[in-house]
Amino acid sequence: MDEPEWLNAEELTAWKALAEVLFLLPAALESQLQRDADLAMADYMVLVMLSERDDHCMRMSELAASASTSQSRLSRIVARLEAAEFVTREMAPDDRRAVLATLTESGLAKLVAAAPGHVAQVRRLVFDRLTPAQVLSLTDIARALAHPDDHAACDGPPR
């Protein structure tokens, strides 16, 4: 393995600031949603994903992938949401292994009630603090960082 290149001064200051954001921002979003809508971020994401479908319906595995969560976690989340009557679960007609989760009326109502507060929090914590130019810059940067696994194999020797 290489001599591990330490971070230089600019990188270190950038990293400290980024680490703080990585740590505190999700917590701040989570806590707003929990307090105002009694939903976890993951619950909210699931409701959003379902709401974006025309039929408000998705297979568990697909839902897990779009909400970036594991199947087992999703299974428990949906069980919770089902208990709260925000979604229903039914066997898929074409493949009887699969389960279709469907957003209910009250689930949609819950989402509609929760979304404005969440968006306001995003605005307050992110966009109110950035200039339009920074927003564009952030988009590029975030996109560059957005796929941690992609370059996993690039550590190896060049072919």
Partner DNA sequence: CTAGTTTATTTGACACAGCAACTACTTCCC
Partner DNA sequence: GGGAAGTAGTTGCTGTGTCAAATAAACTAG
Q: Which residues bind a second copy (CB under 8 A)?
A: 2, 4-7, 10-11, 13-15, 17-18, 20-28, 68, 116-117, 119-120, 122-130, 132, 134-149, 151, 154-155
69 CB-near residues (< 8 Å, 6+ apart): 42, 45, 77
What is the nearest approach in angstroms of a second copy to the Cβ of residue 141?
Answer: 5
What distance, in Å, lies between the first and last C-alpha atoms of the chain? 17
What is the nearest approach in angstroms of a second copy to the Cβ of residue 23?
Answer: 5
81 close to 98: Cβ distance less than 8 angstroms: no
Told to check if 8 binds DNA by CB under 7 A, we report: no
Closer to DNA at the Cβ: 133 or 152?
A: 152
Rounded CA-CA distance 21/55 in Å is 36
Closer to DNA at the Cβ: 45 or 127?
A: 45
- Total residues contacting DNA by CB under 7 A comes to 28
What count of other Cβ atoms lies within 10 Å of the Cβ of residue 113?
Answer: 12
The two three-digit tokens of residue 88, written as one number? 């229903």
DSSP code for 58: E
What, of DNA, a second copy, none, does residue 26 touch, CB below 5 to 8 Å by kind?
Answer: a second copy
DSSP codes joined into one string, 99-157:
EEEEE-HHHHHHHHHHHHHHHHHHHHHTGGGS-HHHHHHHHHHHHHHS-TTTTGGGGSP
What is the nearest approach in angstroms of DNA to the Cβ of residue 92?
Answer: 7
Q: Which of residues 42-81 bind DNA (CB under 7 A)?
A: 42, 59-62, 64, 69-80
What is the nearest approach in angstroms of DNA to the Cβ of residue 83?
Answer: 9
Name the site residues for DNA (rule: CB under 7 A). 27, 31, 40, 42, 59-62, 64, 69-80, 89, 92, 95-99
